[in-house]
Amino acid sequence: MFDYMSKNHYFTGIGDKGNTFIGSKKINKYDIILEAIGAVDELASYLGILYSDDIEYVLKEHITSIQNKLFSINSEVASILDNKFSPKTLLKNSDVIDLESYIIYVGERLPSLKGFVIPGGNKHSAEFDMARAICRRTERRLAIIPKEYEFDTKEFEIILKYINRLSSYLFWAARYTNMKFNTKESYPEI
């Protein structure tokens, strides 16, 4: 096998048989670690779509910060299998507090919540809603890891807390975006 990281190759072929490597550890592509890493990556990518939208600059600042934290989360998850992937800085409770401040920023500018809100309204709000749905799936994938890999959940507590707050942020950001673009919210008829 060739050293694909040091050359400009267009493909590696490593995963052709349904396996891949995290460091020196060979795992199945359906392993929960890869499911979680993929979900986090999908979320970070979808936030990139939001960043490219015509949204308020402060939301773009939030997104940039969040995307950086998502890369740290993926490093922490990969380091379960190979500690060479340990991020330079681990997620801290202060990161959760920063995210809570983003929630407060958008939330305090909104009218009171009347009930469940139907996703959508305008394109930007719908994209925040989609990001929230991806975030919730990501949270479910991450929550399985401590049980599957049999380690103390306290080691993973900050990650789960951060992702949980992130879904709240995305909900409030969707509402905020509707308000900024003068789009009326819709409520289910239940």
Looking at the domain covering 28-180, what would its CATH class be? Answer: mainly alpha
Which phi-psi region, left, alpha or beta, contains residue 116 (left: φ > 0; alpha: ψ -120 to 50)? beta
Distance CA 11, CA 60 (A): 33
95-107 burial, b at 16+ Cβ within 10 Å, e below that, comes to bbebbeebbebbb
User: What is the secondary structure of 56-112 as a DSSP string?
Assistant: -HHHHHHHHHHHHHHHHHHHHHHTTT-GGG--SS---HHHHHHHHHHHHHHHTTSPP
Q: Where are the domains of the chain?
A: 28-180
9-51 pLDDT, tens digit per residue, is 666 766 666 777 787 787 878 889 999 999 999 999 999 999 9
**Which two three-digit tokens encode residue 79?**
């380091």
pTM of the predicted protein model: 0.88
Distance CA 44, CA 84 (A): 22
Residue by residue, pLDDT tens for the chain (190 residues) are 445 555 666 667 666 667 777 877 878 788 899 999 999 999 999 999 999 999 999 999 999 999 999 999 999 999 988 888 887 778 999 999 999 999 999 999 988 887 788 888 899 999 999 999 999 999 999 999 998 888 777 768 999 999 999 999 999 999 999 999 988 887 778 7
| pLDDT at residue number 2 | 45
Amino acid at 45: S
| pLDDT at residue number 5 | 56
